[in-house]
Amino acid sequence: MGRPQVVLGVSGGIAAYKACELLRRLTESGHEVRVVPTESALHFVGEATWSALSGNPVPTRVWDDVHQVPHVRIGQHADLVVVAPATADLLARAAHGLADDLLTNTLLTARCPVVFAPAMHTEMWEHPATQDNVATLRRRGAVVIEPAVGRLTGADTGKGRLPEPAEIYEVCRRVLARGGALPRDLAGRHVVISAGGTREPLDPVRYLGNRSSGKQGYALARTAVARGARVTLVAANTGLPDPAGADVLTAGTADQLREAVLKAAADADVVVMAAAVADFRPAAYATGKIKKRDGEEPAPIPLVRNPDILAELSANRPRAGQLVVGFAAETDDVLANGRAKLARKGCDLLVVNEVGERKVFGAEENEAVVLGADGSETPVPHGPKEALADRVWDLVTARLG
Ligand code: C5P
Protein backbone atom coordinates (compact mmCIF):
# COMPACT_ATOMS: atom_id res chain seq x y z
CA MET A 1 0.00 0.00 0.00
CA GLY A 2 1.28 3.48 -0.87
CA ARG A 3 1.47 6.36 1.50
CA PRO A 4 -1.91 7.76 2.60
CA GLN A 5 -2.90 10.65 0.33
CA VAL A 6 -4.03 13.70 2.26
CA VAL A 7 -5.39 16.93 0.82
CA LEU A 8 -4.80 19.89 3.11
CA GLY A 9 -7.25 22.63 2.18
CA VAL A 10 -6.39 26.04 3.58
CA SER A 11 -8.88 28.89 3.56
CA GLY A 12 -8.20 32.54 4.15
CA GLY A 13 -7.78 33.16 7.85
CA ILE A 14 -4.84 34.45 9.84
CA ALA A 15 -4.53 30.97 11.40
CA ALA A 16 -3.30 29.74 7.98
CA TYR A 17 0.24 29.97 9.35
CA LYS A 18 -0.63 27.25 11.89
CA ALA A 19 -1.53 24.92 9.02
CA CYS A 20 2.22 24.87 8.17
CA GLU A 21 2.80 23.00 11.43
CA LEU A 22 -0.05 20.59 10.65
CA LEU A 23 1.46 20.02 7.20
CA ARG A 24 4.86 19.30 8.73
CA ARG A 25 3.34 16.76 11.14
CA LEU A 26 1.46 15.04 8.32
CA THR A 27 4.49 14.76 6.02
CA GLU A 28 6.86 13.69 8.80
CA SER A 29 4.51 10.88 9.79
CA GLY A 30 4.55 9.46 6.25
CA HIS A 31 1.54 11.05 4.56
CA GLU A 32 1.67 12.32 0.99
CA VAL A 33 0.12 15.79 1.19
CA ARG A 34 -1.28 18.04 -1.53
CA VAL A 35 -2.01 21.52 -0.30
CA VAL A 36 -4.95 23.33 -1.88
CA PRO A 37 -5.07 26.92 -0.63
CA THR A 38 -7.89 29.29 -1.54
CA GLU A 39 -7.02 32.59 -3.21
CA SER A 40 -7.47 34.41 0.08
CA ALA A 41 -5.32 31.87 1.99
CA LEU A 42 -2.44 32.91 -0.27
CA HIS A 43 -2.65 36.43 1.17
CA PHE A 44 -1.55 34.94 4.50
CA VAL A 45 0.91 32.19 3.49
CA GLY A 46 2.39 32.03 -0.01
CA GLU A 47 2.56 29.21 -2.52
CA ALA A 48 6.32 28.76 -2.04
CA THR A 49 5.88 27.81 1.63
CA TRP A 50 3.18 25.22 0.90
CA SER A 51 5.18 23.77 -1.96
CA ALA A 52 8.45 23.53 -0.03
CA LEU A 53 6.80 21.98 3.06
CA SER A 54 4.69 19.47 1.12
CA GLY A 55 7.28 18.61 -1.53
CA ASN A 56 4.51 18.88 -4.11
CA PRO A 57 3.33 21.50 -6.59
CA VAL A 58 0.54 23.66 -5.24
CA PRO A 59 -2.44 24.05 -7.53
CA THR A 60 -4.34 27.18 -6.66
CA ARG A 61 -6.80 27.65 -9.50
CA VAL A 62 -9.21 25.43 -11.39
CA TRP A 63 -7.54 26.78 -14.55
CA ASP A 64 -4.00 25.57 -13.71
CA ASP A 65 -2.91 22.38 -15.57
CA VAL A 66 -6.40 21.93 -16.99
CA HIS A 67 -5.27 18.88 -19.02
CA GLN A 68 -4.90 17.00 -15.72
CA VAL A 69 -8.47 17.89 -14.71
CA PRO A 70 -7.31 18.90 -11.22
CA HIS A 71 -10.74 19.91 -9.99
CA VAL A 72 -11.79 16.26 -10.12
CA ARG A 73 -8.53 14.35 -9.73
CA ILE A 74 -7.32 15.82 -6.46
CA GLY A 75 -10.47 14.91 -4.55
CA GLN A 76 -10.88 11.52 -6.20
CA HIS A 77 -7.41 10.36 -5.18
CA ALA A 78 -7.52 11.51 -1.58
CA ASP A 79 -7.76 9.22 1.45
CA LEU A 80 -8.55 12.23 3.64
CA VAL A 81 -9.33 15.90 3.09
CA VAL A 82 -8.65 18.22 6.00
CA VAL A 83 -9.48 21.92 5.82
CA ALA A 84 -7.54 24.00 8.36
CA PRO A 85 -8.35 26.74 8.97
CA ALA A 86 -11.92 26.52 7.73
CA THR A 87 -13.39 30.03 7.61
CA ALA A 88 -17.11 30.80 8.00
CA ASP A 89 -17.19 31.44 4.25
CA LEU A 90 -15.55 28.11 3.40
CA LEU A 91 -17.96 26.21 5.70
CA ALA A 92 -20.88 27.99 4.02
CA ARG A 93 -19.66 27.15 0.53
CA ALA A 94 -18.99 23.52 1.50
CA ALA A 95 -22.40 23.16 3.17
CA HIS A 96 -24.16 24.51 0.09
CA GLY A 97 -22.17 22.47 -2.42
CA LEU A 98 -20.69 25.47 -4.23
CA ALA A 99 -17.78 24.79 -6.53
CA ASP A 100 -16.34 28.21 -7.24
CA ASP A 101 -12.68 27.42 -6.59
CA LEU A 102 -10.34 24.44 -6.58
CA LEU A 103 -10.84 23.62 -2.89
CA THR A 104 -14.65 23.51 -3.06
CA ASN A 105 -14.43 21.44 -6.27
CA THR A 106 -12.14 19.06 -4.39
CA LEU A 107 -14.63 18.82 -1.52
CA LEU A 108 -17.41 17.89 -3.95
CA THR A 109 -15.43 15.18 -5.71
CA ALA A 110 -13.88 13.63 -2.58
CA ARG A 111 -15.46 10.36 -1.45
CA CYS A 112 -13.08 10.00 1.50
CA PRO A 113 -13.56 11.30 5.08
CA VAL A 114 -13.43 15.10 5.43
CA VAL A 115 -12.29 17.01 8.51
CA PHE A 116 -12.93 20.74 9.01
CA ALA A 117 -11.00 22.71 11.65
CA PRO A 118 -12.87 26.03 11.89
CA ALA A 119 -11.26 29.30 12.93
CA MET A 120 -13.09 32.61 13.08
CA HIS A 121 -14.29 35.28 15.47
CA THR A 122 -16.74 34.16 18.15
CA GLU A 123 -19.63 36.12 16.62
CA MET A 124 -19.15 34.43 13.25
CA TRP A 125 -18.90 30.97 14.85
CA GLU A 126 -22.02 31.52 16.94
CA HIS A 127 -24.08 32.99 14.10
CA PRO A 128 -27.05 30.73 13.30
CA ALA A 129 -25.94 30.63 9.65
CA THR A 130 -22.58 29.12 10.59
CA GLN A 131 -24.14 26.79 13.16
CA ASP A 132 -26.63 25.54 10.55
CA ASN A 133 -23.81 24.99 8.06
CA VAL A 134 -21.82 23.02 10.64
CA ALA A 135 -24.88 20.90 11.46
CA THR A 136 -25.41 20.23 7.73
CA LEU A 137 -21.79 19.17 7.22
CA ARG A 138 -21.89 16.90 10.29
CA ARG A 139 -25.18 15.35 9.17
CA ARG A 140 -23.46 14.42 5.92
CA GLY A 141 -20.69 12.68 7.83
CA ALA A 142 -17.96 15.32 7.91
CA VAL A 143 -15.98 15.79 11.10
CA VAL A 144 -16.17 19.42 12.22
CA ILE A 145 -13.79 19.96 15.12
CA GLU A 146 -15.03 22.40 17.78
CA PRO A 147 -12.91 25.56 17.76
CA ALA A 148 -10.76 26.24 20.79
CA VAL A 149 -11.39 29.03 23.28
CA GLY A 150 -8.68 31.66 23.67
CA ARG A 151 -6.99 34.65 22.17
CA LEU A 152 -8.30 35.58 18.73
CA THR A 153 -6.75 37.95 16.21
CA GLY A 154 -6.42 41.35 17.84
CA ALA A 155 -7.19 41.94 21.48
CA ASP A 156 -10.36 39.84 21.78
CA THR A 157 -10.70 36.36 23.23
CA GLY A 158 -13.42 33.76 22.97
CA LYS A 159 -14.45 30.61 21.14
CA GLY A 160 -13.22 30.46 17.57
CA ARG A 161 -9.49 29.84 17.80
CA LEU A 162 -8.03 27.19 15.54
CA PRO A 163 -7.32 24.10 17.67
CA GLU A 164 -3.61 23.35 18.13
CA PRO A 165 -2.07 21.66 15.06
CA ALA A 166 -1.20 18.64 17.25
CA GLU A 167 -4.90 18.28 18.06
CA ILE A 168 -6.00 18.53 14.43
CA TYR A 169 -3.32 16.02 13.48
CA GLU A 170 -4.62 13.56 16.09
CA VAL A 171 -8.16 13.86 14.74
CA CYS A 172 -6.87 13.25 11.17
CA ARG A 173 -4.89 10.21 12.29
CA ARG A 174 -7.94 8.72 13.98
CA VAL A 175 -10.31 9.45 11.13
CA LEU A 176 -7.83 7.91 8.65
CA ALA A 177 -7.42 4.83 10.86
CA ARG A 178 -11.18 4.33 11.02
CA GLY A 179 -11.85 5.28 7.41
CA GLY A 180 -14.65 7.60 8.43
CA ALA A 181 -16.30 9.69 11.08
CA LEU A 182 -17.16 8.25 14.47
CA PRO A 183 -20.76 7.72 15.54
CA ARG A 184 -22.13 10.68 17.53
CA ASP A 185 -23.63 8.35 20.12
CA LEU A 186 -22.64 10.54 23.07
CA ALA A 187 -24.54 13.59 21.74
CA GLY A 188 -26.49 15.30 24.53
CA ARG A 189 -24.38 13.61 27.24
CA HIS A 190 -22.05 15.32 29.70
CA VAL A 191 -18.95 13.32 30.51
CA VAL A 192 -16.34 14.19 33.11
CA ILE A 193 -12.86 12.78 32.74
CA SER A 194 -9.90 13.11 35.09
CA ALA A 195 -6.42 12.77 33.62
CA GLY A 196 -2.77 13.00 34.63
CA GLY A 197 -1.27 12.45 38.04
CA THR A 198 -1.66 14.40 41.26
CA ARG A 199 1.30 15.96 43.08
CA GLU A 200 1.24 16.15 46.85
CA PRO A 201 3.51 18.94 48.08
CA LEU A 202 6.09 18.42 50.82
CA ASP A 203 7.42 21.96 50.77
CA PRO A 204 7.38 24.80 48.21
CA VAL A 205 9.76 22.95 45.85
CA ARG A 206 9.13 19.22 46.37
CA TYR A 207 6.20 16.88 45.92
CA LEU A 208 5.24 13.20 45.89
CA GLY A 209 4.06 12.38 42.39
CA ASN A 210 3.70 9.59 39.86
CA ARG A 211 4.56 8.84 36.26
CA SER A 212 1.13 9.27 34.69
CA SER A 213 1.37 11.35 31.49
CA GLY A 214 -2.36 12.01 31.08
CA LYS A 215 -2.37 10.70 27.50
CA GLN A 216 -5.04 8.05 28.11
CA GLY A 217 -7.37 10.60 29.74
CA TYR A 218 -6.81 13.04 26.88
CA ALA A 219 -7.55 10.27 24.36
CA LEU A 220 -10.82 9.65 26.24
CA ALA A 221 -11.63 13.37 26.05
CA ARG A 222 -10.85 13.64 22.32
CA THR A 223 -12.86 10.57 21.43
CA ALA A 224 -15.81 11.68 23.59
CA VAL A 225 -15.85 15.10 21.88
CA ALA A 226 -15.75 13.35 18.49
CA ARG A 227 -18.72 11.20 19.53
CA GLY A 228 -20.72 14.31 20.37
CA ALA A 229 -20.38 14.58 24.17
CA ARG A 230 -20.00 17.73 26.21
CA VAL A 231 -16.69 17.02 27.90
CA THR A 232 -15.21 18.39 31.12
CA LEU A 233 -11.60 17.33 31.49
CA VAL A 234 -9.98 17.74 34.90
CA ALA A 235 -6.27 17.70 34.17
CA ALA A 236 -3.64 17.12 36.84
CA ASN A 237 -0.09 18.15 35.91
CA THR A 238 -0.15 17.00 32.29
CA GLY A 239 1.42 19.77 30.17
CA LEU A 240 -0.52 18.46 27.14
CA PRO A 241 -2.36 20.78 24.71
CA ASP A 242 -6.06 21.15 25.55
CA PRO A 243 -8.20 18.74 23.51
CA ALA A 244 -10.29 20.77 21.09
CA GLY A 245 -13.88 21.16 22.21
CA ALA A 246 -13.39 20.08 25.85
CA ASP A 247 -13.75 22.33 28.90
CA VAL A 248 -10.46 21.93 30.69
CA LEU A 249 -10.06 22.51 34.43
CA THR A 250 -6.76 22.02 36.20
CA ALA A 251 -6.01 20.48 39.58
CA GLY A 252 -2.67 19.94 41.29
CA THR A 253 -3.37 17.76 44.33
CA ALA A 254 -5.81 14.94 45.07
CA ASP A 255 -7.92 17.32 47.17
CA GLN A 256 -8.15 19.84 44.33
CA LEU A 257 -8.97 17.07 41.86
CA ARG A 258 -11.69 15.75 44.16
CA GLU A 259 -13.30 19.17 44.46
CA ALA A 260 -13.24 19.78 40.69
CA VAL A 261 -14.49 16.30 39.77
CA LEU A 262 -17.32 16.24 42.34
CA LYS A 263 -18.52 19.68 41.22
CA ALA A 264 -18.46 18.76 37.52
CA ALA A 265 -20.06 15.36 38.24
CA ALA A 266 -23.24 16.99 39.61
CA ASP A 267 -24.90 16.98 36.18
CA ALA A 268 -22.74 14.36 34.45
CA ASP A 269 -24.00 11.22 32.74
CA VAL A 270 -20.59 9.56 32.98
CA VAL A 271 -17.50 10.08 35.13
CA VAL A 272 -14.23 8.46 34.11
CA MET A 273 -11.42 8.54 36.66
CA ALA A 274 -8.38 8.05 34.45
CA ALA A 275 -6.13 10.18 36.66
CA ALA A 276 -3.53 8.55 38.85
CA VAL A 277 -4.54 9.98 42.20
CA ALA A 278 -1.98 9.74 44.99
CA ASP A 279 -3.25 7.40 47.68
CA PHE A 280 -1.25 9.23 50.36
CA ARG A 281 0.00 12.75 50.96
CA PRO A 282 2.58 14.13 53.39
CA ALA A 283 0.90 14.70 56.75
CA ALA A 284 2.43 18.14 57.02
CA TYR A 285 3.42 20.82 54.54
CA ALA A 286 6.61 22.75 55.32
CA THR A 287 6.13 26.38 54.35
CA GLY A 288 9.91 26.77 53.91
CA LYS A 289 12.19 24.44 51.93
CA ILE A 290 13.23 21.44 54.05
CA LYS A 291 16.99 21.77 54.63
CA LYS A 292 19.62 19.06 54.91
CA ARG A 293 21.82 19.46 57.97
CA ASP A 294 25.40 18.25 58.28
CA GLY A 295 25.69 15.04 60.25
CA GLU A 296 21.91 14.54 60.50
CA GLU A 297 19.90 11.77 58.87
CA PRO A 298 16.77 12.99 57.06
CA ALA A 299 13.61 12.86 59.14
CA PRO A 300 11.00 10.30 57.98
CA ILE A 301 8.03 11.73 56.10
CA PRO A 302 4.75 10.73 57.76
CA LEU A 303 1.91 10.21 55.26
CA VAL A 304 -1.86 10.34 55.58
CA ARG A 305 -4.50 8.83 53.30
CA ASN A 306 -6.10 10.86 50.55
CA PRO A 307 -9.85 10.53 49.98
CA ASP A 308 -10.72 7.83 47.44
CA ILE A 309 -12.61 9.89 44.86
CA LEU A 310 -13.68 6.91 42.73
CA ALA A 311 -15.17 5.05 45.70
CA GLU A 312 -16.89 8.22 46.94
CA LEU A 313 -18.38 8.95 43.50
CA SER A 314 -19.57 5.39 43.08
CA ALA A 315 -21.24 5.35 46.51
CA ASN A 316 -22.96 8.75 46.24
CA ARG A 317 -24.14 9.25 42.68
CA PRO A 318 -25.56 12.75 42.27
CA ARG A 319 -27.72 11.56 39.35
CA ALA A 320 -29.69 8.38 38.94
CA GLY A 321 -28.21 6.22 36.22
CA GLN A 322 -24.85 8.00 36.28
CA LEU A 323 -22.07 5.66 35.16
CA VAL A 324 -18.71 5.62 36.91
CA VAL A 325 -15.58 4.20 35.28
CA GLY A 326 -12.29 3.62 37.06
CA PHE A 327 -8.80 2.70 35.97
CA ALA A 328 -6.46 0.32 37.71
CA ALA A 329 -2.78 -0.06 37.04
CA GLU A 330 -1.56 -3.40 38.32
CA THR A 331 1.88 -4.97 38.24
CA ASP A 332 0.89 -8.58 39.01
CA ASP A 333 -2.20 -10.83 39.26
CA VAL A 334 -3.82 -8.27 37.04
CA LEU A 335 -7.28 -9.80 36.62
CA ALA A 336 -7.77 -11.05 40.18
CA ASN A 337 -6.64 -7.71 41.60
CA GLY A 338 -8.84 -5.91 39.09
CA ARG A 339 -11.97 -7.87 40.09
CA ALA A 340 -11.32 -7.23 43.77
CA LYS A 341 -10.77 -3.54 43.09
CA LEU A 342 -13.97 -3.24 41.04
CA ALA A 343 -15.95 -4.65 43.95
CA ARG A 344 -14.15 -2.47 46.50
CA LYS A 345 -14.61 0.76 44.55
CA GLY A 346 -18.21 0.06 43.51
CA CYS A 347 -17.81 1.47 39.99
CA ASP A 348 -19.56 0.14 36.86
CA LEU A 349 -16.50 -0.45 34.70
CA LEU A 350 -12.85 -0.82 35.60
CA VAL A 351 -10.14 -0.56 32.93
CA VAL A 352 -7.30 -2.72 34.14
CA ASN A 353 -3.84 -2.54 32.65
CA GLU A 354 -0.53 -4.02 33.53
CA VAL A 355 2.16 -1.48 34.20
CA GLY A 356 5.88 -1.58 34.61
CA GLU A 357 8.66 0.94 34.28
CA ARG A 358 8.43 1.04 30.52
CA LYS A 359 4.86 -0.16 30.06
CA VAL A 360 2.01 2.28 29.41
CA PHE A 361 3.24 5.34 31.33
CA GLY A 362 3.96 8.05 28.78
CA ALA A 363 3.51 5.63 25.85
CA GLU A 364 1.24 6.24 22.87
CA GLU A 365 -0.20 2.73 23.08
CA ASN A 366 -1.98 0.72 25.68
CA GLU A 367 -3.50 -2.72 26.28
CA ALA A 368 -6.16 -3.52 28.85
CA VAL A 369 -9.06 -5.62 30.04
CA VAL A 370 -12.28 -3.77 30.86
CA LEU A 371 -14.14 -5.45 33.71
CA GLY A 372 -17.83 -4.77 34.22
CA ALA A 373 -19.77 -4.87 37.50
CA ASP A 374 -22.18 -7.10 35.52
CA GLY A 375 -19.41 -9.72 35.26
CA SER A 376 -18.38 -8.82 31.72
CA GLU A 377 -14.73 -8.97 30.68
CA THR A 378 -13.63 -7.18 27.50
CA PRO A 379 -10.00 -7.56 26.44
CA VAL A 380 -8.67 -4.67 24.34
CA PRO A 381 -5.56 -5.64 22.36
CA HIS A 382 -2.38 -3.57 22.20
CA GLY A 383 -3.06 -0.42 20.17
CA PRO A 384 -3.36 3.38 20.24
CA LYS A 385 -4.79 4.92 23.40
CA GLU A 386 -7.67 6.27 21.27
CA ALA A 387 -8.65 2.71 20.35
CA LEU A 388 -8.92 1.78 24.03
CA ALA A 389 -10.83 5.03 24.65
CA ASP A 390 -13.31 4.17 21.89
CA ARG A 391 -13.85 0.69 23.37
CA VAL A 392 -14.57 2.27 26.75
CA TRP A 393 -17.17 4.58 25.14
CA ASP A 394 -18.71 1.59 23.31
CA LEU A 395 -19.16 -0.14 26.67
CA VAL A 396 -20.45 3.04 28.29
CA THR A 397 -23.03 3.80 25.57
CA ALA A 398 -24.29 0.21 25.73
CA ARG A 399 -24.97 0.75 29.46
CA LEU A 400 -26.37 4.29 29.30
CA GLY A 401 -29.71 3.11 27.92
O1 C5P B 1 -6.78 2.16 44.35
P2 C5P B 1 -6.15 2.57 43.07
O3 C5P B 1 -5.31 3.81 43.21
O4 C5P B 1 -5.40 1.48 42.37
O5 C5P B 1 -7.39 2.90 42.12
C6 C5P B 1 -7.25 3.47 40.87
C7 C5P B 1 -8.53 4.13 40.49
O8 C5P B 1 -9.07 4.86 41.58
C9 C5P B 1 -8.36 5.16 39.40
O10 C5P B 1 -9.54 5.23 38.63
C11 C5P B 1 -8.12 6.44 40.19
O12 C5P B 1 -8.48 7.58 39.41
C13 C5P B 1 -9.02 6.24 41.37
N14 C5P B 1 -8.55 6.84 42.63
C15 C5P B 1 -9.27 7.84 43.23
N16 C5P B 1 -8.87 8.39 44.41
C17 C5P B 1 -7.75 7.95 45.02
C18 C5P B 1 -7.01 6.91 44.43
C19 C5P B 1 -7.43 6.39 43.22
O20 C5P B 1 -10.31 8.23 42.69
N21 C5P B 1 -7.37 8.48 46.16
pLDDT tens, 9-30?
999 999 999 999 999 999 999 9
- Domain finish residue from 153, 178, 203: 178
Closest CA to 345 of 388, 390, 307: 307
Residue 283 main-chain phi, psi, to 5 deg: -65, -30
- As for how many domains the chain has, the answer is 2
Closest CA to 38 of 4, 65, 80, 7: 7
Select which of 210, 306, 353, 366 is catalytic: 210
Burial class (CB in 10 A: 0-12, 13-18, 19+), 337: middle
Does residue 248 sit within a domain? yes
Same domain, 127 and 228: no
Same domain, 169 and 270: no
Non-local CB neighbours of 259 within 8 Å, separated by 6+ positions? 251
Non-local CB neighbours of 15 within 8 Å, separated by 6+ positions? 84, 85, 119, 161, 162
Same domain, 207 and 99: no
Work out the pLDDT band at 287, boundaries 50, 70, 90: very high
The lowest-confidence range among 1-15, 177-191, 312-326 is 177-191
Ligand 1 centroid distance, CA of 308 (Å): 6
Ligand 1 centroid distance, CA of 377 (Å): 20
Does residue 235 sit within a domain? yes
Same domain, 244 and 393: yes
Does residue 185 sit within a domain? no
Residue 244 has pLDDT above 70, yes or no: yes
**pTM of the predicted protein model:** 0.77
Same domain, 227 and 309: yes
Predicted confidence (pLDDT) per residue in 314-335, tens digit? 999 999 999 999 999 888 888 9
Q: Which domain holds residue 267?
A: 190-400
Give the amino acid at 160. G
Does residue 58 sit within a domain? yes
Q: What is the DSSP code string of 327-355? A: EEEESSSHHHHHHHHHHHHT-SEEEEEE-
Q: What is the CATH number of the domain that holds 55?
A: 3.40.50.1950
Same domain, 166 and 236: no
Does residue 262 sit within a domain? yes
Ligand 1 centroid distance, CA of 300 (Å): 25
| CA 234 to the chain's CA centroid | 13
Q: What is the CATH number of the domain that holds 201?
A: 3.40.50.10300
Q: How far apart are CA 134 and CA 343, in angstroms?
A: 44
Number of the ligand 1 atom closest to the C-alpha atom of 345: 8
Residue 118 has pLDDT above 70, yes or no: yes
- Domain finish residue from 178, 207, 232: 178
Give the binding-site residues of ligand 1, using a 6 Å CB cut-off: 254, 273, 275, 277, 279, 306, 308-310, 326-328
Ligand 1 centroid distance, CA of 51 (Å): 50
- Among 208, 255, 310, 349, the mutation site with the greatest number of ligand 1 atoms within 8 A of its Cβ is 310
Residue 162 has pLDDT above 90, yes or no: yes
Same domain, 132 and 12: yes
Number of the ligand 1 atom closest to the C-alpha atom of 347: 10
Predicted confidence (pLDDT) per residue in 359-382, tens digit? 656 677 888 999 999 999 999 988
Does residue 331 sit within a domain? yes
105 given a catalytic annotation: no
Same domain, 174 and 225: no
- pLDDT value for 242: 87
Same domain, 204 and 296: yes
Same domain, 163 and 303: no
- Domain finish residue from 146, 178, 210: 178
Does residue 45 sit within a domain? yes
Residue 259 has pLDDT above 90, yes or no: yes
Same domain, 279 and 317: yes
Same domain, 391 and 254: yes
Does residue 184 sit within a domain? no
Residues in the chain: 401
